[in-house]
């Protein structure tokens, strides 16, 4: 079973191992998804109050990876996780001559505490998977790859789902979607809550990430008492 108390260093290590598949040298190979559709970032930095951890992608030249790592090692360690990395411009300047950047992303990283299971959600199984066909048809055949999958159901159809977007023996990262016509009714909060309870029942810690610009997702984190332990910064 997962212990009840984690250090920030433990959390960010488990987080990075859940997000990515690494090669034998600790470089990023790909995103840790059953069917990854986007590449791993060229540079990934996760910052916590107790320290930082970073990764570079396996196809970067060694001298470029070393330069990025030297900058990351110099990032100030601070309890204020709402600041951007000090050397953001320098990371981009190092990468730009090698390849144009596609995306710059920042994300808050939380874990979800123990809580009671909501009554208004169901777990998707082989017997009831038809519930996802109307709005989340991609889960009909693949739900087992993302289990546990928890849904809010209205008129016989799942209108919101939460599932394991990344998973390891220690942790699971939440992925949550609500069908557009049903947003604003609390369904997302319910399915994330139900998913967190289901994940803890497997002996894993439920992790929840949200981009800096996704205020609705941040509101869910607040409602559920999610604990902020780190922030991500990635260049792809």
Residues 60-86: tens digit of each pLDDT = 999 999 999 999 999 999 888 998 999
pLDDT of amino acid 1: 44
pLDDT tens readout for residues 79-111: 889 989 999 999 999 999 988 888 899 999 999
The structure tokens listed for 171 are 């942790």
Note whether 145 and 217 are same-domain residues.
Answer: yes
Q: Do 157 and 202 share a domain, yes or no?
A: yes
Strand partners, 231: 47, 108
The dihedral formed by the CA atoms of 40, 214, 207 and 7, expressed in degrees to the nearest 10: 90
**pLDDT of 5 above 90:** no
Residue 103 burial class via C-beta count within 10 angstroms: exposed 0-12, middle 13-18, buried 19 and up? exposed
| pTM given for the model | 0.94
Give the closest residue to 118 by CA, choosing from 198, 173, 184, 219. Answer: 198
Residue 131 shares a structural domain with residue 56: no
Of 82, 109, 136, the last residue of a domain is: 109
In a domain, 115, yes or no: no
On whether both 105 and 126 belong to a single domain, the answer is: no
Q: Identify whether 114 is part of a domain.
A: no
> Residue 138 and residue 143: Cα distance in Å, rounded?
8
| 36 lies in the same domain as 131 | no
Say if 116 falls within a structural domain: no
Q: Is 235 inside a domain boundary?
A: no
34 and 91 inside one domain? yes
Q: End of a domain among 55, 79, 109? A: 109
Half-sphere exposure of residue 84: CA atoms within 13 angstroms, side-chain side: 10
Last residue of a domain, one of 62, 88, 109: 109
pLDDT digits (tens, 9 = 90+) for 127-174: 999 999 999 999 999 999 999 999 999 999 999 999 999 999 999 999
pLDDT at 232 over 70: yes
Mean pLDDT of the residues in the chain = 94
pLDDT in tens, 8-42: 999 999 999 999 999 999 999 999 998 777 789 99
Asked if the model's pLDDT at residue 4 lies above 70, the reply is no
Q: Is the pLDDT of residue 225 over 60?
A: yes
Residue from 193, 216, 21 nearest 113 by CA? 193
Per-residue model confidence (pLDDT) at position 38: 79
Whether residue 3 is contained in a domain is answered as no
- 137 and 223 inside one domain: yes
Give the pLDDT score at 175.
97
Specify the number of domains making up the chain.
2
- Overall average pLDDT of the 202-214 stretch: 96
Distance in angstroms (rounded) separating the CA atoms of residues 125 and 155: 18
Is residue 1 in some structural domain?
no
Same domain, 12 and 105: yes
Compute the distance between CA of residue 75 and CA of residue 51 in angstroms, rounded to an integer.
Answer: 9
Asked if 162 and 169 count as a contact pair (C-beta separation under 8 A), the reply is no
Give me the domain span that covers residue 59. 8-109
On whether residue 169 sits in a domain, the answer given is yes
The answer on pLDDT for 234 being more than 90 is yes
Query: Could you give the C-alpha distances from 155 to 58, 129, 137, 159, 161, in angstroms and in order?
Result: 48, 15, 16, 9, 15
Confidence band (pLDDT; 50, 70, 90) for 3?
very low
- The CATH code of the domain that includes 188 is 3.40.630.30
Has residue 36 been placed in a domain?
A: yes
């Amino acid at each position: 079973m997962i212990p009840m108390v984690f250090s920030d260093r433990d959390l960010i290590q488990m987080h990075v191992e859940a997000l990515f598949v690494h090669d034998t040298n600790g470089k990023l190979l790909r995103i840790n998804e059953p069917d990854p559709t986007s590449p791993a970032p060229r540079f990934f930095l996760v910052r916590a109050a107790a320290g930082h951890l970073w990764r570079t992608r396996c196809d970067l030249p060694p001298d470029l990876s070393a330069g990025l790592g030297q900058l990351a090692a110099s990032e100030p360690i601070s309890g204020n996780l709402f600041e951007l990395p000090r050397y953001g411009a320098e990371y981009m300047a190092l990468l730009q001559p090698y390849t144009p950047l596609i995306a710059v992303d920042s994300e808050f990283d939380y874990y979800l505490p123990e809580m009671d299971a909501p009554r208004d959600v169901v777990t998707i199984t082989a017997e009831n998977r038809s519930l996802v066909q109307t709005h989340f048809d991609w889960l009909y055949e693949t739900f087992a790859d993302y289990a546990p999958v928890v849904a809010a159901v209205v008129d016989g159809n799942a209108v919101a789902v939460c599932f394991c977007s990344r998973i390891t023996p220690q942790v699971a990262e939440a992925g949550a979607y609500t069908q557009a016509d049903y947003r604003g009714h609390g369904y997302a909060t319910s399915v994330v809550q139900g998913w967190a309870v289901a994940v803890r029942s497997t002996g894993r810690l439920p992790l929840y990430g949200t981009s800096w610009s996704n205020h609705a997702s941040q509101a869910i984190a607040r409602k559920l008492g999610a604990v902020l332990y780190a922030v991500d910064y990635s260049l792809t």
